[in-house]
Amino acid sequence: MAVQLEVSFICLYENQPSFDEVDMWMRSIGFAPHRFFDIKSWSISPTTRGNDFRQPFNQLLESDIVYVKDLLNIKNHSSVQLKMLAIISEVSFDSPDLAIRCLWELMSRTTLDARVISQFTVART
């Protein structure tokens, strides 16, 4: 249901797929981007910031990006999958809005008490 990938803005390997190639492929198989994690920059040789090569200026290097299957059509997921996606969204992605969208779908199937959504919404938004 969810895939977190490391994508490169500047490819450091020969024949490595670039970010745009990865993004197009993920979309082609039904995944949509949800969030970035840890967008990394690195300083361009030979200039360093304060003699520390690990302190970047602005040059993008790589990032992790999360894709979600059928993000705009979560009705396609089973109830078990929706519960898992809600939990992953809350615990791993810090995305209460995505979790609540999953909970709403579960409620429409009468597999979740509406009070869970209201309590979670109050606690997390």
Partner 1 sequence: MNLIERVQLSDPINIADIGVASINETPAYSDLVIGEYGHLFAFDGDSRQIPALQKLYGEHATFLNHFLADGAQHTAYICREDTAITSLFKPHQSALAFFNNFSSFGKVVKQQRIQTARLDVIDEIGDLHFI
Among 60, 61, 71, 107, the residue binding partner 1 under the rule CB under 8 A is: 61
Q: Would you state the structure tokens that stand for residue 65, as one six-digit string?
A: 């990006």
Contact criterion met (CB below 8 Å) for 39 and 94:
no
Q: Which residues of 71-104 are buried (b: 16+ CB within 10 A; e: fewer)?
A: beebeebeeeebbebbebbbeebebbebbbbbbb
Q: How far is the CB of 16 from partner 1 (least distance, A)?
A: 5
Which lies closer to partner 1 via its Cβ, residue 4 or residue 70?
A: 4
Give contact residues for partner 1 (rule: CB under 8 A): 1-4, 6, 10-16, 37-38, 42-48, 53, 59, 61, 64, 66, 80-81, 83-84, 86-88, 90-93, 99, 103, 106, 112, 116, 119-120, 123
